[in-house]
Structure 1
């Protein structure tokens, strides 16, 4: 049985990936320090995986985690943009040096393939749409710089050492287990929670900002396909569809029966006006096509929030 490692496997996206890998018959090892992930996210597979509570910055933890693995999915990160602004050094130790530590351990252990969870944040405020992998990158936060630096390290390790790598630039991922209590959570989880509580959503600016929302199961599909491929480089993972924030609220209000109107606040400095992915590269080279329509993803996510205990 092939052994694979998922760093950050107790997190929002990571736990869905772990479930998929277990279902496909892999021996799955998870490395997570539980700073933002939760063991409860792995409840359905807890007895069928190897869970290591450890830190991506700790060389011993990382070497122990990669030993015997053929593939590594690297999702462990400080994922809050604001936290990277507040603590650039501490977040870089995780997002940059932690990634480098993992790559070095993977090289030494003979890992065959490393797939990295990057971000569309690397594009910054480049106005061209849709975002393509060959567009100029304009990172506007420590988080974006750190993700871009890790992408470059993956490319260097592929070129110098022959370690097969792929970086997936996630757009706006949503779905079950996204924590709405965090001020850094995705807008969909926050809007759903407010709608279910019959509270008005807070909308910054006029609500005309657009995002490319992709359901978590489709992101997992992209990760699995990338791990099975020999294609190297960077790949956008989105849907190619723009949805503006006011339309998002109308969809959620209709699903939940909430009659509240948005409360508009001043625009946030640096907020990107429009974002949408070109997914030709992922489709042509990885065979990835998103399968879950936006509306269906919203319905599935709402069903989970209605079932989930408080604080889940």
Structure 2
């Protein structure tokens, strides 16, 4: 079994990766500064796996912290970043510092410590203004936001380091990842947890634009699957490549709202009376996103384990159970 560093390990994707890897028998180091991650995401790991899970609270903008976290590690899964297109538009300097400066720190640490393979979270936003569908890895456009620009720079840095320092990397371009533990309360919350929260609270979800924009929503277990394939592949043609990490399905925002409502009605029939409202399009958003996953199939033997709809059912089940737990806790505390 390997020793693996997961940066951003207390976040939505990172904590799911940590949990999966620990359960597979690996020793996991979690590095997080809790700017967007949450201690509750890893509390069970800290309590139940003290010998195979370690938390280092720190910031990837500190090179010394990166060296400390990566020392003695076999592989790095670099998930730490400041996500959200709107956040990057509001604060491009911090987004740049974390997503490029922090990324470079981790890349240099991986080089200096001779890490076996550096696997990192890239982004579908890199496709920018390219209108072709489906999105194919070697055909991108110009970035449409500071966030997208930072993720493109990360890919370029990884490629340069591979060629210059004989390093191994694999970049995974995530397409709209969703699932358990995704934060619905952030001011930059993603659309799926936000809509789920609003419907469960009997509030109208707000759709940006007319709802015809579409996305390739990707369930968290498919993302875990891709990270594991990137870790274990011995195919020399698979290394130092970028891969779309997606379902290969296209869903409009109107369809998404309808699906979420339809599933949640099973839990609370009152939700049938809630309908979305519409507002202006959001600056920096691309209209449509659909991934080709042929490259991942060819080189990594990837086949998504979850369809979008099946993943959505699992996600809503998780949120409903968490909602029920919190309601029970509130009632108990008020006795």
TM-score higher than 0.5: yes
Q: Which runs of 4+ in 1 moved over 3 A?
A: none
Q: CA–CA distance in 1 between the matches of 2:169 and 2:141?
A: 20
Residues 126, 140 of structure 2: 8 Å contact kept: no
Note the C-alpha offset of 1:61: 0.7
Q: CA–CA distance in 2 between the matches of 1:274 and 1:71?
A: 34
Residue-by-residue CA offset, 1:51-87 (whole Å, 9 max, x unaligned): 1001101111110111111100000011122222222
Q: Which structure 2 residues correspond to residues 68-107 of structure 1 after superposition, within 5 A?
A: 68-107=72-111
Q: CA–CA distance in 2 between the matches of 1:188 and 1:83?
A: 18
Question: What TM-score do you get using the length of structure 1 for normalisation?
Answer: 0.96
Residues 10, 37 of structure 2: 8 Å contact kept: yes
Please name the residue that 1:11 is paired with.
Answer: 11
Please name the residue that 1:148 is paired with.
Answer: 152
After TM superposition, the structure 1 stretch with the greater mean CA deviation from structure 2, 257-266 or 3-12, is 257-266
Q: Is 1:34 the counterpart of 2:34 in the alignment?
A: yes
Note the C-alpha offset of 1:293: 1.7
Residues 88, 147 of structure 2: 8 Å contact kept: yes
Residues 117, 168 of structure 2: 8 Å contact kept: yes
Q: CA–CA distance in 2 between the matches of 1:268 and 1:80?
A: 12
Q: 1:215 aligns with which of 219, 233, 244?
A: 219
Q: 1:252 aligns with which of 247, 253, 260?
A: 260
Q: Secondary structure of the equivalent of 2:44?
A: coil
Q: CA–CA distance in 2 between the matches of 1:133 and 1:148?
A: 12
Q: 1:192 aligns with which of 188, 192, 196?
A: 196
Q: Is 1:157 the counterpart of 2:161 in the alignment?
A: yes
Gaps spanning 5+ residues in structure 1: where? none
Q: Is 1:295 the counterpart of 2:309 in the alignment?
A: yes
Q: CA–CA distance in 1 between the matches of 2:101 and 2:280?
A: 36
After TM superposition, the structure 1 stretch with the greater mean CA deviation from structure 2, 252-261 or 215-224, is 252-261
Please name the residue that 1:267 is paired with.
Answer: 281
Residues 86, 283 of structure 2: 8 Å contact kept: no
Q: CA–CA distance in 2 between the matches of 1:69 and 1:216?
A: 24
Q: CA–CA distance in 2 between the matches of 1:252 and 1:82?
A: 24
Note the C-alpha offset of 1:234: 0.7
After TM superposition, the structure 1 stretch with the greater mean CA deviation from structure 2, 260-269 or 99-108, is 260-269
Note the C-alpha offset of 1:267: 2.4
Q: Which structure 2 residues correspond to residues 277-296 of structure 1 after superposition, within 5 A?
A: 277-296=291-310
Question: What TM-score do you get using the length of structure 2 for normalisation?
Answer: 0.90
Q: Secondary structure of the equivalent of 1:268?
A: coil
Number of matched residues? 311
Note the C-alpha offset of 1:148: 0.7
Shift in CA distance, 270/31, structure 1 to aligned 2, threshold 3 Å: closer
Gaps spanning 5+ residues in structure 2: where? 266-270, 328-335
Note the C-alpha offset of 1:268: 2.5
Which structure is larger by alpha-carbon Rg, 1 or 2? 2
Note the C-alpha offset of 1:185: 1.6
Q: Which structure 2 residues correspond to residues 299-310 of structure 1 after superposition, within 5 A?
A: 299-308=313-322
Q: CA–CA distance in 2 between the matches of 1:4 and 1:137?
A: 33
TM-align CA RMSD: 1.4
Q: Secondary structure of the equivalent of 1:292?
A: coil
Residues 128, 140 of structure 2: 8 Å contact kept: no
Q: CA–CA distance in 2 between the matches of 1:80 and 1:269?
A: 12
Residue-by-residue CA offset, 1:174-218 (whole Å, 9 max, x unaligned): 001111111322211111111111111111221111100110011
Note the C-alpha offset of 1:111: 0.4
Residue-by-residue CA offset, 1:67-115 (whole Å, 9 max, x unaligned): 1111000000111222222222222111101111111111111101000
